[in-house]
Amino acid sequence: MADQKPLQNGPGAGDSLQEEIWLLGQPPLRRYLDFVSDIVVDGARADVAALTDEWRAANDYYHELEQLESGIADKVECRELPPSCVSLAKEVAADTHYRHTFNRVPVSFGMVELDKLIAFQLHVSCNFIRDLVAELGPNPSVEALFRFCLPIERSNAPVQTQRVGSKRYVFRSDSTDFRFHDAVLLQPDQIRDYHSFGPLAGVVGLVVGFGSNYLNAIRVGDRLLLNNGYHRACALRQLGVTHAPCIIQTATLMDELELIAKPLIADDPDFYFNTARPPLLKDFFDPNIAKVYPVHKRVRMIEVNFEVRDYVLSE
């Protein structure tokens, strides 16, 4: 097996250049080809046959790893939190975002081994990882490491909001964690600093925001799948950290997995939790699998539309 190497800048990399690292060899091939064609700089002119050969070579390499590292995901280490982090974990558990996110299956805190975490996300931003490495710095304290992985206070990415029609709004952000939350019915006493031409009866809110942003994993049997926090996990490994504070959700039934995992995972659980050698976080540092591409900058856009109908009914 080839030596593991840290993520590095690609040729001519700079602050203005967006770079993304992809794990090759994982199906479907079409997804990889579409990524190169649509997102990679000058990717539309790429040699599709060469890309396919490269992907096939990585796929063959994964078959070799199935023999060399069979069952490696079953040996992931999970240590108890250091004593100095126990009180910090209690603070996280009391946080509103935590209580609304991790309220469906048994949950625990632990120090998870990064290398053997199963990876369902096949790409990460090199730029974001470098920023996180610079933010945390070398030799962080245990407490700083905990706050980095499980932050209660956080600074969110800027959001641009624009009304583009009488019943249509667009929200834009550079953050990959930007998302639609929910539609919620609010009472008049929950609304502040809004004045209308008459008394309020109720307000329907279409909520847009960010995720809880906690490093968390899903445990099924002896395996741990990284559910959120890929960039932080890669940044930590880049800094030489082997174990990281993590929230762990345990699923024992398929119905539970469907509640807490993304559809990609819930639709094919055997691939992640039963195969001999699934994709692992350490694969992002293996040059036989990982490839860095210059990519066009992308933003996440959420468009919200609503419709109003006014009826008079006979009862």
Express each pLDDT in 9-54 by its tens digit: 444 444 457 999 999 999 999 999 999 999 999 999 999 999 999 9
Tell me 196's DSSP state: -
pLDDT for 1: 35
Express each pLDDT in 205-232 by its tens digit: 999 999 889 999 999 999 999 999 999 9
Domain count, the chain: 1
Residue 178 covered by a domain:
no
Residue 126 covered by a domain:
yes
* Core vs surface per residue 63-73: b (16+ CB within 10 A) or e: eebeeebeebb
Contacts of 214 (CB under 8 A, 6+ apart): 92, 97, 98, 101, 149, 150, 151, 228, 229, 247
Q: What range defines the domain where residue 258 resides?
A: 18-154+212-295
Express each pLDDT in 49-86 by its tens digit: 999 999 999 999 999 999 999 999 999 999 999 999 99
Chain mean pLDDT for the chain = 93
55, two tokens: 């992907």
**Listed range (153-157, 196-200, 209-213) with the worst mean pLDDT:** 153-157
Local structure of 182: helix, strand or coil: strand
Distance CA 88, CA 114 (A): 21
Residue 193 has pLDDT above 80, yes or no: yes
Query: Strand locations in the chain, DSSP E?
Result: 18-23, 78-79, 107-113, 118-119, 123-125, 159-165, 168-173, 178-186, 203-210, 216-220, 223-228, 243-250, 290-295, 300-305
Distance CA 54, CA 287 (A): 12
Residue 123 covered by a domain:
yes
Per the CB < 8 A criterion, the answer to whether 115 and 1 are in contact is no
* CATH assignment at residue 236: 3.90.1530.10
Residue 80 covered by a domain:
yes
Residue 10 covered by a domain:
no
Residue 307 covered by a domain:
no
Residue 2 covered by a domain:
no
Residue 204 covered by a domain:
no
Distance CA 167, CA 15 (A): 38
Local structure of 262: helix, strand or coil: coil
